[in-house]
Amino acid sequence: MAAALRLIKSRALIDAAGAACIAALLAIPLLGLRLNETGRDAGLTYHLPWIAYAALAVFFARLGLSYLRPWTFAAPAASRLTGYAPSARLLHGSINLLAILFALGLPWFSFADDNFIDRATLILIYVMLATGLNIVVRRAGLLDLGYAAFFAIGAYADALLSQRFSLSFWECLPISGLLAAGFGLAIASPVIRARGEYLAIATLAFGEMVQTVLVNWIPITGGAKGIAAIPRPSFFALSGATRMNEVDLFYYLILAMVLLASAFVWRIGRLPLGRAWDALREDEIACRSLGLDTMAIKLSAFALGAGLAGFAGCVFAARQGLVSPGNFTFAQTAMVLTIVMLGMKNQLGISLSTIAIIGIPEWFPALTAYRMIAIGIVLVLAMVWRPDGVSTRRAPTMRLMRRVARPTVETEAQ
Amino acid sequence: MDFFLLQLVNGLSLGAIYGLIAVGYSMVYGTIGLVNFAHGDIVMLGGFISLIGFLLLAPLGISIVPLALGSVLLVTIALTGLFGWLVERLAYRPLRGAPRLASLISAIGVSIILQNSVLLSQGASVKRLQPLVSGAFAVTVPGPVHLTIGIVQILIVVTAAVVMAAFAYVIRTTALGRAHRAMLQDRTMAALLGVNVDRMTTASFVIGSGFAAVAGLMVTLYYGAIDFSAGFVIGIQGLIAAVLGGLGSPAGAMFGGILIGLADAFWSGYFGVAYRDAAVFGILILVLIFRPAGLLGRAEVERI
């Protein structure tokens, strides 16, 4: 009895009860009273038990959480910078190599029919997109909320150029990338000087502006219906020479582009420009005091990201054969942003999170309805658990070859 | 001339709504320096809650319009404020002191969660409401067409004015307002001098969500329809209004809201609605190029 009283008095229980009350209140307009369409005007239907379900779910979830303290939503303490052992580097390298070999051999697996390869192609297109946004957000630390617009520019460039000027895919590809990069420069250069939020707001507005133009400029863009019958690329004599069908060749095309982009990004990350991106993200004032041209550095990252999105858009248009404004909404940007945030800053991580976010709903269509809400939850949780994941922490430039007395270095988060 | 006046009236009532939304952005930005990308979706929630409230009142037999409006307004403010409190608690408070990018991304996540939880629970269709406040005044002006001003429009402008006046009073005279102004000027110094930063942040979110609730109710009344994605575009419009007036300045936000409302109405009136949003975004980009601190804001000096 006394033990029971103690339990009742325990803070965890009170806390959980409070949370349950709040959940019940908030569940009233979301779950308890639902609007339905009865004729022209909305009517109400009552689902009152749902309020109790929500309250109970939150009660037990909160109770469970409080027994898992101190893990619960406490702000993370000092971040720990651990040494990066050469063996880990070797391991990463071999995993990367295995992943590349797997991707190269994919069409030869028995389970990989044309449908499978086609979906794998879509996943690779998103890997390409994420590679571009990774540079902008995680290397340079700029938030681009209109990323889908550059994807759209690439896709519509391919669609329009191939239909109106009958350019081939191979001619459209470089034009798409350059055009998207040019738009990136044009939109970013006026606002990149201002504070970080303004770039996010301006790109968000730019994304919506492009969406408005795509929907309304019907003579050129076809409006909401979009542009259909975009020719697929011709692979000249390759198809006959290698006895591969067109789907496989298309897969190898985007795979080659992704590998090329990855190699380029990996290489440029180790050149002065890549170092400057990292430095700028960490401390802009210090960079300026060292004489770096911060505007040019930011613009280069932004334009490079936009350009990669343009290439991805061109391939996307050729794969779908149809582009419409619905393919390039803010939801696309949010998806790519989530891939990047889950991607652990490396190409393998990006590929795996693309498979999770784009691939899983492709193979399990029933989950598609829950994809966006899952993306929202993942974005919030990723930030709450690892807020420093957006900055700091990179592979050390130099490392000691012998073990030293103190293998880990702890730094205080400022 | 009549057409011009008509658009002026439309613009003012739209501007009142945008202004209220913009004040919500400004409140939060002023206290913790975060652009709350989920604010538009809080407005949408306010719209839904008020719509549900109106539909609930019919079976309860409350048919006096002012009483219905008043009670729904209070309930909407309370519940929407609770949503704002919860969002701050779960998604922003753990990120205090984290890189700014992390909070922005978390805010985008919250926006997606709110939008999609309403989509999943309430469905995707546009929810319509019979006009509650109907009727219009005919105003005689010289000219062939006569001008009418809807009572809804008057109601919206008057309510916005009253809410803003009350808010200005609170900011000017109360301890809460003083703390808010102090945090606006210098967050660290305010904290050192004993301003409870956590409580002020919570307060700014709850008050901002209260403004969103009023705006959401007005959206429901004015358009007579709301759907789960309504918060996105209207949120961007409000955000642009806040940037136009200078982020962090409540008076600027109201001013920016009215400017955006007028631009919106006049563009729709004279050039059609197709490129209306694009025009407003164009204004934003012009402002960011020429006056990045907004029309009424002061430029922030970066200190080391």
User: B226-267 pLDDT, tens per residue?
Assistant: 888 888 888 988 999 998 888 878 888 899 999 999 998 888
The larger pLDDT score, comparing residue B218 to residue B299, is at B218
Q: Determine, for residues A390 and B55 on separate chains, whether the beta-carbon distance falls below 8 Å.
A: no
**In chain B, residues 240-259 whose CB comes closer than 8 Å to chain A:** 240, 243, 247
Tell me what percent of the residues of chain B surpass a pLDDT of 70. 91
Chain A partners within 8 Å of B102 (Cβ): 383, 387-390
pLDDT of A152 reads 95
How far apart CA B63 and CA A59 sit, in angstroms, is 38
- The 10s digit of each residue's pLDDT in B189-198 is 888 988 888 8
pLDDT of B140 reads 65
Q: Determine, for residues A200 and B121 on separate chains, whether the beta-carbon distance falls below 8 Å.
A: no
Q: Is B293 exposed, middle or buried (0-12, 13-18, 19+ CB in 10 A)?
A: buried
Chain B partners within 8 Å of A34 (Cβ): 121-123
Rounded (10°) angle between helices B65-87 and B197-223: 140
The larger pLDDT score, comparing residue A86 to residue A81, is at A86
For residue A114, pLDDT beyond 60: yes
Count of CB pairs separated by less than 8 Å, A with B: 194
Q: Determine, for residues A372 and B116 on separate chains, whether the beta-carbon distance falls below 8 Å.
A: yes
Q: Determine, for residues B105 and A341 on separate chains, whether the beta-carbon distance falls below 8 Å.
A: yes
For residue A132, pLDDT beyond 90: yes
Q: Which of A123, A122, A100, A153 is nearest to A305 (CA)?
A: A153
CA distance B224 to chain A (A): 10
Residue range A178-182: mean pLDDT, rounded: 95
Q: Determine, for residues A34 and B277 on separate chains, whether the beta-carbon distance falls below 8 Å.
A: no
For residue A407, pLDDT beyond 50: no
Chain B partners within 8 Å of A380 (Cβ): 90-91, 106, 109-110, 113
For residue A73, pLDDT beyond 60: no
For residue A81, pLDDT beyond 50: no
For residue A348, pLDDT beyond 80: yes
Q: Determine, for residues B112 and A191 on separate chains, whether the beta-carbon distance falls below 8 Å.
A: no
**Beta partners for B225?**
B128
How far apart CA B257 and CA B17 sit, in angstroms, is 7
CA distance A214 to chain B (A): 11
The string of DSSP letters for A232-288 reads PPP-TTHHHHHT--HHHHHHHHHHHHHHHHHHHHHHHTTSHHHHHHHHHHH-HHHHH
- Number of other residues whose CB lies within 10 A of the CB of residue B253: 36
> Which CATH code is given to the segment(s) A96-390?
1.10.3470
Q: Domain limits of chain B? A: 2-233
pLDDT of A65 reads 77
Q: Report how far apart the first and last C-alpha atoms of chain B are (Å, whole number).
A: 54
Structure tokens at B267: 């563009």
Tell me what percent of the residues of chain B surpass a pLDDT of 90. 28
How far apart CA A324 and CA A317 sit, in angstroms, is 10
- Find the CB nearest A373 among B51, B100, B113: B113
Q: Determine, for residues B113 and A376 on separate chains, whether the beta-carbon distance falls below 8 Å.
A: yes
- A246 neighbors A336 (Cβ within 8 angstroms): no
Give yes or no for A44 touching B (CB within 8 A). Answer: yes
For residue A398, pLDDT beyond 60: no
List helix spans (H) across A10-113: 11-27, 48-67, 86-105
Question: In this predicted complex, what is the ipTM?
Answer: 0.86
How far apart CA A192 and CA A197 sit, in angstroms, is 10
For residue B298, pLDDT beyond 80: no
pLDDT of B109 reads 93
Q: What is the largest CA-CA distance in chain B?
A: 64
CA distance A30 to chain B (A): 6
Give yes or no for B79 touching A (CB within 8 A). Answer: yes
Give yes or no for A390 touching B (CB within 8 A). Answer: yes
For residue A4, pLDDT beyond 70: no
pLDDT of B43 reads 95
Length of chain B: 304
CA distance A241 to chain B (A): 48
Give yes or no for A75 touching B (CB within 8 A). Answer: yes
CA distance A92 to chain B (A): 27
- The 10s digit of each residue's pLDDT in B121-159 is 888 888 888 777 767 777 666 666 667 778 888 888 998
- Find the CB nearest A208 among B104, B120, B236: B236
For residue A316, pLDDT beyond 90: yes
Residue range B80-85: mean pLDDT, rounded: 93
For residue A94, pLDDT beyond 70: yes
Residue range B5-33: mean pLDDT, rounded: 89
**Beta partners for A80?**
A410
**B79 falls in which pLDDT band (50, 70, 90)?**
very high
How far apart CA B37 and CA A380 sit, in angstroms, is 13
Round the average pLDDT of chain A to a whole number and report it: 81
- Find the CB nearest B281 among A208, A378, A387: A208
- The 10s digit of each residue's pLDDT in A26-68 is 888 888 888 876 666 777 888 888 888 888 888 888 888 777 7
**In chain A, residues 175-234 whose CB comes closer than 8 Å to chain B:** 187, 190-191, 193-198, 200-202, 204-206, 208-209, 212-213, 216
For residue A392, pLDDT beyond 60: no
**A302 falls in which pLDDT band (50, 70, 90)?**
very high
**Beta partners for B150?**
B136
Which of A220-234, B43-57, B201-215 is least confident?
A220-234
Q: Determine, for residues A372 and B240 on separate chains, whether the beta-carbon distance falls below 8 Å.
A: no
Structure tokens at B297: 């804001």
Residue range A141-145: mean pLDDT, rounded: 89
- B197 neighbors B190 (Cβ within 8 angstroms): yes
Q: Domain limits of chain A? A: 7-65, 96-390
Give yes or no for B23 touching A (CB within 8 A). Answer: no
- A303 neighbors A185 (Cβ within 8 angstroms): yes
How far apart CA A210 and CA A122 sit, in angstroms, is 23
Q: Determine, for residues A376 and B55 on separate chains, whether the beta-carbon distance falls below 8 Å.
A: no
Most A-contacting residue of B105, B223, B233, B291 (CB-CB within 10 A), to test interface: B105
Chain A partners within 8 Å of B51 (Cβ): 35, 42
Give yes or no for B266 touching A (CB within 8 A). Answer: no
Q: Determine, for residues A213 and B101 on separate chains, whether the beta-carbon distance falls below 8 Å.
A: no
- A189 neighbors A148 (Cβ within 8 angstroms): no
Give yes or no for A387 touching B (CB within 8 A). Answer: yes
Q: Determine, for residues B104 and A143 on separate chains, whether the beta-carbon distance falls below 8 Å.
A: yes
Q: Determine, for residues A212 and B278 on separate chains, whether the beta-carbon distance falls below 8 Å.
A: yes
Residue B141, C-beta contacts closer than 8 angstroms, at least 6 positions apart = B1, B2, B5, B147
How far apart CA A136 and CA A38 sit, in angstroms, is 47
Most B-contacting residue of A294, A384, A392, A412 (CB-CB within 10 A), to test interface: A384
Supply the pTM of this predicted model: 0.86
pLDDT of B302 reads 52
Chain A partners within 8 Å of B115 (Cβ): 372, 376
Give yes or no for B124 touching A (CB within 8 A). Answer: no
CA distance B268 to chain A (A): 14
Chain A residue closest in CA terms to B81: A26
Give yes or no for B229 touching A (CB within 8 A). Answer: no
Q: Determine, for residues A383 and B243 on separate chains, whether the beta-carbon distance falls below 8 Å.
A: no
pLDDT of A413 reads 44
- Number of other residues whose CB lies within 10 A of the CB of residue B272: 10
- Find the CB nearest B99 among A33, A75, A390: A390
pLDDT of B116 reads 92
The string of DSSP letters for B65-83 reads HHHHHHHHHHHHHHHHHHH
Tell me what percent of the residues of chain A surpass a pLDDT of 90. 22
How far apart CA B131 and CA B120 sit, in angstroms, is 26
For residue B37, pLDDT beyond 80: yes
